[in-house]
Structure 1
Amino acid sequence: MRSYNPWSSGGICLVLLACQGCFGGSSVPLANVDGVVTKDGNPVVAATVVFNPTTGRPSSGKTDEKGVFHLQFTQDHQGAVLGQHTVIISLPGSGAPSGPVGSGKRPPRPKGSGIEEVHWPEPVTVEKSGNAFTFDL
């Protein structure tokens, strides 16, 4: 009978494949995502855009003076996980989050927080390329 050594080259490969994506690093399949947020045709400045994937870590970005955003997966990695996402746009107000969101889903904001959240009605799909979205509120 042949014994299996988990530290053999095959065992190490299995461990690496099993942990791929565990740490939120570059091994997670990401794609660049950008877009524009407008309201009544005008750019929305300082809005936070969050893409929540069906599974995995969310990505977020903040709009600039032209309403343009670029998603960040982590501090060191741009983009969002490939696949379907729900989108939440937090309009400017006191206490708006900045930078990438944590690894879990964020609970709804308490009433009276001064921030209006818009839950985009349809899911969006992040593909390997061509991920430019326009959200007209």
Structure 2
Amino acid sequence: MDECIFCKIASHSIPAYVVSENDEVMAFADINPATKGHILVIPKSHATNLFDIEEASFIKVLSLAKRIARVMPEVLGCSGINLFHSAGKIAWQEVMHFHLHIVPRYRREELQRPFVSTPANKTELKEIALRLSRKLSNK
């Protein structure tokens, strides 16, 4: 993907503050961090989002994210971690190359939740769970 900025980073065509990499995955500092130490983890081969990343590649990205997250409290002094992925523009995905955000969380920070949780209708929850369960059983 010639226009994909993360593909350019993965191929070392443009610079990045690389934390870790191997032949298949790479982790680097987000240049517009939500908090100090915000890291992105990507597959080196292009996949747009969760819907089209290969299972093996996804597992490798997740494994590297876990390794990085485990050392963040000691290295950065954070008290917690947010790990997230946005799939599609409606879900705030800005770069159309699969990536996981590892966002260190610190006491007394101003970072806000991206959504407000509200109590759900139990009938609706039951229906959603049943529909998803049926679809998964058919696969």
**TM-score normalized by structure 1?**
0.22
More strand by share: 1
Looking at CA atoms only, which structure, 1 or 2, has the larger radius of gyration? 1
The higher-RCO structure (CA 8 Å, 6+ apart) is 1
